[in-house]
Amino acid sequence: MAEFVSVEVADQIATIRLDRPKMNALDAQVQREIAEAARLVDDDPGVHAVVIYGGERVFAAGADIKEMAVMSYADMYAHSRALQDSLTAVARIGKPVIAAITGYALGGGCELALCADFRVAGESAKLGQPEIQLGIIPGAGGTQRLPRLIGPARAKDLIFSGRHVPAAEALAIGLVDRVVPDAEVYQAAREWAATFTGGPAIALRAAKLAVDRGMEVDLDSGLEIERLQFSGIFATEDAKTGMTAFTEKSTPEFTGR
């Protein structure tokens, strides 16, 4: 039983909930529990979409600095792999993932949010990569996922300065996708997640894989990834169901097979 990260499933939507007082600092234990939760929801056929939520007060204010401050180079060389792998497990969930961001999403918390497909932020939320102010750099994907999302110049601005980005600016630069009143963040994320329930789960997984892996390679390689995923979908019952419903002008009922 995880201590700080829980998974709740309702209406085909899984909520991965962080609850480590006071600021959901991502220490080694929380990192392991996040990875376990990600694998759990990825493997559950009853889960069609995922919301990552830190509660009403804060999403996650970053890594546990007290834990890191005493680490040597050798310690961090080993730990950094586990740190990256824990968040990559979230990025690899083969279902739509939405980060519901309240309060601070800083450092590792911002990097966790970057692993989601979409980000919903409260009006008073603040995001950023403040590691430079500690004399270090982001180490859980911030230097890689952030420029892929908002472009290298804007990413360098955030990483070099370490400044906190308010929700309105985050929306303007594409760091978040929606801004809502603070009290509505979780509900807004769930409503967005609900649009993916009942859909063709295998096709959604294939689409996510094609986009994500395609962004990591050259165009020709990306097109080959797309071609293989596209042709593979034709082996599924959902593809037959969807195309038959289209020709018959009826509503498809997908089964995820």
* Residues with catalytic roles: 111, 131
Tokens of 3: 């201590």
- Total Cβ atoms within 10 A of residue 172: 12
Spatial separation of the C-alpha atoms in residues 190 and 96, rounded to whole Å: 11
In 102-172 the beta strands, taken as DSSP E runs, fall at 104-106, 118-122, 126-128, 165-166
Tokens of 68: 């890191």
In 62-147 the beta strands, taken as DSSP E runs, fall at 97-101, 104-106, 118-122, 126-128
Sign of the alpha-carbon dihedral angle for 106, 111, 112, 113: positive
